[in-house]
Amino acid sequence: MRYKKFAAVAGAVAALIVGAGASPATAQSNGECTWGAYVGDSTVAYCNTSEGHSQFRAVAICQDDLSGDTFLFYGPWKWTYEPYPSYAYCNSSTFLLGASYRIK
């Protein structure tokens, strides 16, 4: 039952990512988490795992327009048993380079 719930939510997150204008190549999944670029300079992640991790959050990998420095911006921690994704956003002086996630 838990796998079916994960598959349904992961599919919905992937559909959100692709439906938001991101290419299907930017949506990634490893069987326990799905993550990718979302709208504009933001990312989305959703995890449901039985590997002992209970929380996850989205990570936006962003680059400063002027200096070229790279920064990580984190979304809020979410519980794996809840059907809610985590979102992370670049700030106004940066642009999105990539998407990732963290688990704990």
> pLDDT tens-digit profile of 19-56?
444 444 467 887 788 999 998 899 999 998 766 668 99
Quick check: 87 and 99 in contact, CB under 8 A? no
Q: Which domain holds residue 63?
A: 2-103
- 57 or 4: which carries more pLDDT confidence? 57
Report the pLDDT value the prediction gives residue 28, as an integer from 0 to 100.
82
| Residue 22, phi then psi, degrees to nearest 5 | -75, 150
| pLDDT at residue number 51 | 64
pTM of the model: 0.72
Number of domains in the chain: 1
Surface-to-core class of residue 18, CB atoms within 10 Å of its CB (0-12 exposed, 13-18 middle, 19+ buried): middle
